[in-house]
Structure 1
Amino acid sequence: MVFAALLLTLSGINVYGQNVITRNERKIDADWKFHLGNAASPTLDFNYGINETSFSKAGGANGTAYAIRFNDRNWQKVDLPHDWAVGLPFDYMDNGDQNAHGYKAIGGHYPQNSIGWYRKEFEVDPADSGGRFELRTDGIYRDSKVWVNGYYVGGNYSGYTSATYDITDFIRFGKKNVIAVRVDATHYEGWFYEGAGIYRHVWLNRYNNLHVVSQGGLYVRTENKGKDANVILKTEVINKNTHAVKGTLETLILNREGKVLVHSKVIPLALDINEQKSYNNSLLLPNAQLSNLDNPYLYRAVALVRENGQVVDSVPVRFGVRTFAFDKDKGFFLNGKSVKIKGTSDHQDHAGVGAALLDYLQYYRIGLLKQMGSNAIRTTHNPPTPELLDACDSLGMLVMDETRLLTSGSEYEKEFRDLILRDRNHPSIFLWSIGNEEHYTQRTDIGKRIALNQILLQKELDPSRTATYAANIGNVYHGVNEVIPIRGFNYNLNGADNYHKEHPDQPVIGTEVASTVSTRGIYIKDTVRCYVPDYDSVFPPWASTAETWWSFAAKRDWFMGGFAWTGFDYRGEPTPYKWPNINSHFGIMDMCGFPKTVYYYYNAWWSDSAVMHIAPHWNWQGEEGKEKIVWVNSNTDDVELFLNGKSLGKKKMPINGHLEWKVQYEPGKLEAIGYKDGQKVTYSVETTGRPYQIKLTPSKNVLLADGEDAVVVNVSAVDKQGREVPDASNMVYFDLEGENAAIVGVGNGDPSSHENDKDVRHNWHRSLFNGRAQVIIRSGTNSGTIKLKAFASDVLSSNIELKQINNTAPIK
């Protein structure tokens, strides 16, 4: 009977046959209106700042953009998540900000592009009155101000933290309601591309007046008890009724199939008007299934609040049973087993969509990293979207969750507090990071005191974990490093041995390593087009090759491993070049997720599968007889290289290394053969013919018809024999038909391309860069078939059909 009631409660309908106000959390991403404002001209900013009374008289909208009756018919229709910066033009300006942010025409020098206004209409059924209503924004870049029905309800300065607003008092029941948001992206928070706009989800939530606090109100942690687990629960309940109430609280533990395994005792509740109380409880979970990298098993805890015997609130939280240990001599242990951290640091933007990633792209990107052999990510250098953590929970990826700034002023302390409260139930998180490379602060006594404040706050809110700090100061102990529990090294590994010897009781991890730069498919240095060779050979002065840092980490038990900079290329920080280069070269994969040569180095030494890969490709028309540097990445015992059947010699593969040959080019087939555990492993590259037909390769063939799902379609060109042409550069045009699905972005991984990622006219096209491009499609809301067609001059077109289905279970 209890479980049946639970199912009804979670579905948001009646319980025990009676209509009650239960928790309902609903995304409201569809059907927003958008228009640019202007930071330099109030009249072009819809009179914001002049002739308005919103801040002097409550509800004084006076016909401004946040008024209910404001005419927004000519505004652009958008669905969230939305990043308006990715669609802006590139513009060269010789200053550090513009360079670091990818030369997009946004920021203080571009007031006409740096303010965005959003409006959203919604209705609330009068039957839902009597409860509490909350608006939650998961990420708005940045400095956002929010109005509901002309009433100012609050703002959030940071572009990376969630914000919640109780809007109960401003709701109009049975009438049109309007949310208005002003976003000011004039000032930067980071030194990399950050996007602009409401680039994460927005939620309209409804609660009973007696409910579990929405932000981190149910905290779940576990302790292993032999084969069993002790599930420790802390539940914050608040009473927003106009009278004191009595009720009950109980908690259920469910397995991944939804079966109730454990049922707590009933805890009586007694709360005065507007009172909030904390209730602690623990449950013994017998024969607990451990969550690990290969089997990320997730349980679900559900807190049930009852009043007068009726369920009035239910809160489900996913959690995992696992242990973390950080040993000063032996490194990191997960569930008692030694695990070397094989991680990447990652920014939050992707080709085509900028910072506004659809949820599917979070799973897609984490899946690519898992296939490479990576087991951890660091959220650099800001709080992530919750859906990234969901993907890591589900797929088995550890997370170092990082706040934006190392400082303890009231505003930034609150941001760190909110981050922990929001994210602490995610089993993927194994470390908190309190900051990154604060060169003004990290060596000082002030930095030490700030760090200690943040560490104590972390321990208060989440005693199940510990913290680190990403320090780029080598063998230096004073300042932040005096108090940080886990010493983080950003580069400077040549000082790590001495540091460990001098401070043997402090565990050590590589919070940021590598920073190799390379351009996919380019094998020479090209200073005109700003490309660097696609080998693990070029790096900035502070950095190293992948092979150097990983060889260092692999042979030292006390060094836990680390996070390579970066898993993917990202907009901004063009290194080692500037304009016309507009995004980084640091990625192991490019901005589309296409692997570079260094990918196969990590794949060879981080994964358990047999790996063989050759670089470069073998299309070098007109360069016959010229010497080519051939790299082979493999984890076989040895490798023999053949050109057109002739052996070029056999070499032993060094552990955590690679092999090189110098080969005079002649058209044909270059093949590498090796053996791993007696298994033959081969890989070859061939000289292809000219591009003959476009090829489309979707990441999946079935989408949910929910308007939120997505598919990544990789684009290439093949010759008459069906071989992908690695140096193809055709301009490819795209057309999409069926069931109101839409192309939302295109890319090709070229770090110097100034082609549009977005096309508001829906004339979608993108050139192949070294044989590849990418299209991202957002699903529609009708079941049926959608058809993507790709065509280019002088080659055959191609098309694929994808199915859209109605289904309540997400397809990942």
Structure 2
Amino acid sequence: TQADSTAATLSVDTEVKDAKGQRGLAVEVSVINPKGWVEQAAHASVGSDGRVHVDLPVAHPRLWSPETPHLYDVRVTLMQDGRVVDELPMKTGLRTIAYDKERGFTLNGQPRKFRGVCLHHDLGPLGAALSKAALIRQVKALKDMGADAIRTSHNLPSQMQMEVYDSLGMMVMAESFDMWVYPKCKNGYAQYFKDWSDRDITHLVLANRNHPSLVMYSIGNEIPEQGSKEGRDMAAHLQDLCHRLDSTRPVTQGLDRPDAALKSGFAQVMDIPGYNYRVHRYDDNIGQLPQGFLLGSETASTVSSRGVYKFPVDFKVAADEGDGQVSSYDTEWCSWSNLPDLDFMMMDDRPYTIGQFVWTGYDYLGEPTPYDNYWPSRSSYFGIIDLAGLPKDRYYLYRSVWNKRAHTLHILPHWTWPGREGKVTPVFVYTDYPEAELFINGKSQGRQRKVSGSRPDDHGASTPALARERAKRYRLMWDGVRYEPGEVRVVAYDDTGRKAAEQTMRTAGRAADIKLVADRTTLNADGADLSYITVSLVDKQGTELPTATDNIDVDVQGAGAFRAICNGDATSLEVFTEPHMHLFSGKLVVTVQAADKPGDITVVVRDKKAKLQRSIVIRTVKP
């Protein structure tokens, strides 16, 4: 595709099977109006080899981007002597991408940096089964955070995924596999690589090259061979295969040993050098990269448990503390990684960076670092959003930096701490505003402004002191606040010093009611559509109880069925498929699925201990 705001050319290359010896074959490419008539069309004869190329001019195109994900209905028709033989309908978008040393990554001619996340294949309590409704919910939450890209780590995406990413506007790094010849584990892909890698890469490219959301391919992740000549040659081979099948998109992979990869030439051979972590090596390494830019292909690996806060608040490498939880103050990272603030700095301050993909957008089943040897931890702590699909505090830190369309003002921790009266309980605020004032029960705790002068100029790995200093650029932190029950209020100020927004949080009392919030109250009666209902307890004033752990029972009646339940607790052994579970940090999420006939779904939620009951009705209608 060639495109700008005034004109575009939609280029179609296709191949007709069994065309040899056939006469009078031609292909028509049509752009179909939503009302069904042909807006524009172009024709070309089929060559003797069965191949055909058609260029279709499109005037005043609506270009595809994450902000404007417009899709065109395109129909490719095969004719013989004027008679329709076959036709292929498809949706695609018009957009251009480019990568170069001078401007980095450009979409439709405009430079931008990826605000991406890595996503594992599972959908939390639904497991590995595909669900369009679950994918849409996932993408909408990430887009509200300000994300614009997804890395399908570490596996080929499904067509359902790609169609959702096309329609909702998410750029995609489509990844292939996690290992080559050298095995990372006993039963991994290494046992199939020699026989299947070329075929799998071919399938990856052919299945996805017509999707406008796809902006790069990835041929590997933290490959052990990256420090060898053999590895460099394999990288070149797989990349060349991608190029032969699709000359319009570059190829990357995630490197976790960049110095070794530079020494072997492995990093230099890639279209896009992808760095997994090792942020402290960016400045030293960029001069050795002929590409002139690099991508944070995997970043952060910050860990936290939603709604869990530990004291004192320390900036540190996360460790097994014997309780299966990590503090949600967002101050703990892994031995190989760093906090988000350093990644923000590198994207903001280094022109040669083209963006990042955070590990991970959502928690996933497996890899419970730092509790790899702690039972019963069974799912990750890396997610910006937990396994139930509930945002952690970290979500709002990313939103305050990434979302340029809406303001963010978020306070942590919660303010219900019986027994902590008079004890130091730091308050953090995540906001896109530069300045704010904190009040506890009406008394000012001081006015703070973000420290704009903080820079990532040290060349060492993260340390507690450096991490705390860097955090001052993107967070507002009142470290000396002492807890007293009541009201926390934050007033934010804009660049001119004028009051711009405020947020209030109160201490919760006893449970007086159940609060139910459905992400969708009308579903398609198609046997597959889903509604996610967030359950919490509230006091008489409507304040949520942030530490409630009550057992919740669910009954689903009518034109739908109970599908799953999840509370986001990485240590919970309660099953996802039974209609009962304990609240974790005051919340859980119930998933209900529509039947194939229209009607009402009534969801009844009970807390037998508190003698509370609440119901919600979800309508289902014909698709």
TM-score by length of 2: 0.88
Work out whether residues 691 and 795 of structure 1, in 8 Å CA contact, stay in contact via their aligned partners in 2. Answer: no
Summarize deviations over 1:49-73 as a string: whole Å, max 9, x none.
xxxxxxxxxxxxxxxxxxxxxxxxx
Work out whether residues 513 and 549 of structure 1, in 8 Å CA contact, stay in contact via their aligned partners in 2. Answer: yes
Larger Rg over CA atoms = 1
1:294 and 1:233 map into 2 onto residues whose CA distance is: 25
Q: 2:322 aligned to 523, 528, 541, which one?
A: 528
State the partner residue of 2:278: 492
RMSD: 2.1
Work out whether residues 638 and 650 of structure 1, in 8 Å CA contact, stay in contact via their aligned partners in 2. Answer: yes
Q: Does 1:674 align with 2:470?
A: no
* Counterpart AA for 1:797: Q
Residues 681-760 of structure 1 aligned to structure 2 (within 5 Å): 681-739=501-559, 741-759=560-578
After superposing the two structures, state which structure 1 stretch, 477-486 or 404-413, moved more. 404-413
Residues 656-675 of structure 1 aligned to structure 2 (within 5 Å): 656-661=473-478, 662-675=480-493
Q: Does 1:606 align with 2:425?
A: no
- CA change 1:527–1:256 in 2 (3 A) is farther
* Counterpart AA for 1:729: T
1:580 and 1:512 map into 2 onto residues whose CA distance is: 27
Summarize deviations over 1:685-735 as a string: whole Å, max 9, x none.
210112222221111111111112111111111112222111111111111
Q: 2:605 aligned to 790, 798, 803, which one?
A: 790
Summarize deviations over 1:242-277 as a string: whole Å, max 9, x none.
x9686543121135565522112263588xxxxx83
State the partner residue of 2:183: none
State the partner residue of 1:645: 442
Work out whether residues 5 and 63 of structure 2, in 8 Å CA contact, stay in contact via their aligned partners in 1. Answer: no
Instruction: State the secondary structure of the residue aligned to 2:281.
Output: helix
* Counterpart AA for 1:325: A
Q: Does 1:625 align with 2:419?
A: no
Summarize deviations over 1:582-612 as a string: whole Å, max 9, x none.
1111011111221111111111111122211
Q: 2:76 aligned to 293, 298, 303, which one?
A: 303
2:249 and 2:33 map into 1 onto residues whose CA distance is: 24
Shift of 1:402: 0.5
Instruction: State the secondary structure of the residue aligned to 1:664.
Output: coil
State the partner residue of 1:430: 215
1:329 and 1:251 map into 2 onto residues whose CA distance is: 36
2:273 and 2:16 map into 1 onto residues whose CA distance is: 37
Shift of 1:498: 1.3
2:611 and 2:376 map into 1 onto residues whose CA distance is: 30
State the partner residue of 1:562: 356
State the partner residue of 2:384: 588
- CA change 1:634–1:771 in 2 (3 A) is same
- CA change 1:255–1:560 in 2 (3 A) is farther
Instruction: State the secondary structure of the residue aligned to 1:613.
Output: strand
Residues 311-460 of structure 1 aligned to structure 2 (within 5 Å): 311-405=84-178, 407=180, 409-439=194-224, 441-460=225-244
Instruction: State the secondary structure of the residue aligned to 2:552.
Output: strand
2:419 and 2:130 map into 1 onto residues whose CA distance is: 42
Work out whether residues 224 and 323 of structure 1, in 8 Å CA contact, stay in contact via their aligned partners in 2. Answer: yes
Work out whether residues 392 and 398 of structure 1, in 8 Å CA contact, stay in contact via their aligned partners in 2. Answer: yes
Work out whether residues 406 and 451 of structure 1, in 8 Å CA contact, stay in contact via their aligned partners in 2. Answer: no
State the partner residue of 1:516: 302
Shift of 1:795: 3.7
State the partner residue of 1:801: 617
* Counterpart AA for 1:634: T
2:5 and 2:528 map into 1 onto residues whose CA distance is: 42
- CA change 1:223–1:679 in 2 (3 A) is farther
TM-score by length of 1: 0.68
Residues 8-19 of structure 1 aligned to structure 2 (within 5 Å): none
1:240 and 1:233 map into 2 onto residues whose CA distance is: 18
Work out whether residues 487 and 506 of structure 1, in 8 Å CA contact, stay in contact via their aligned partners in 2. Answer: no
State the partner residue of 1:294: 67
1:593 and 1:722 map into 2 onto residues whose CA distance is: 22
Identity percentage over the alignment?
34
State the partner residue of 1:231: 10
Residues 75-474 of structure 1 aligned to structure 2 (within 5 Å): 222-224=1-3, 227-239=6-18, 247-255=25-33, 258-265=36-43, 267=45, 277-306=50-79, 310-405=83-178, 407=180, 409-439=194-224, 441-474=225-258
Summarize deviations over 1:602-630 as a string: whole Å, max 9, x none.
11111122211111000111221111121
State the partner residue of 2:186: none
What are the ranges of 5 or more consecutive residues in structure 1 without an aligned counterpart? 1-221, 271-275, 808-812
1:323 and 1:257 map into 2 onto residues whose CA distance is: 27
1:343 and 1:444 map into 2 onto residues whose CA distance is: 29
Residues 545-560 of structure 1 aligned to structure 2 (within 5 Å): 545-560=339-354
Shift of 1:436: 0.4
1:568 and 1:415 map into 2 onto residues whose CA distance is: 26
- CA change 1:260–1:778 in 2 (3 A) is same
Work out whether residues 417 and 457 of structure 1, in 8 Å CA contact, stay in contact via their aligned partners in 2. Answer: yes
Shift of 1:520: 0.6
- CA change 1:718–1:357 in 2 (3 A) is farther
- CA change 1:745–1:414 in 2 (3 A) is same
After superposing the two structures, state which structure 1 stretch, 480-489 or 514-523, moved more. 480-489
State the partner residue of 1:781: 596
Shift of 1:238: 2.2
1:614 and 1:570 map into 2 onto residues whose CA distance is: 26
- CA change 1:268–1:331 in 2 (3 A) is closer
Work out whether residues 693 and 795 of structure 1, in 8 Å CA contact, stay in contact via their aligned partners in 2. Answer: no
Greater helix content: 2
- CA change 1:240–1:771 in 2 (3 A) is farther
* Counterpart AA for 1:449: D
Work out whether residues 600 and 619 of structure 2, in 8 Å CA contact, stay in contact via their aligned partners in 1. Answer: yes
What are the ranges of 5 or more consecutive residues in structure 2 without an aligned counterpart? 181-192, 312-319, 453-472
Summarize deviations over 1:666-686 as a string: whole Å, max 9, x none.
100011111235452112221
- CA change 1:258–1:460 in 2 (3 A) is farther
Shift of 1:806: 0.9
Summarize deviations over 1:483-525 as a string: whole Å, max 9, x none.
1011110011111111112335332110001000111111117
1:724 and 1:496 map into 2 onto residues whose CA distance is: 44
Work out whether residues 468 and 488 of structure 1, in 8 Å CA contact, stay in contact via their aligned partners in 2. Answer: yes
* Counterpart AA for 2:433: T
* Counterpart AA for 2:590: V
* Counterpart AA for 1:534: S
- CA change 1:406–1:247 in 2 (3 A) is same
Shift of 1:381: 0.5
1:742 and 1:245 map into 2 onto residues whose CA distance is: 56
Work out whether residues 569 and 589 of structure 1, in 8 Å CA contact, stay in contact via their aligned partners in 2. Answer: yes
Instruction: State the secondary structure of the residue aligned to 2:200.
Output: helix
Shift of 1:417: 0.4
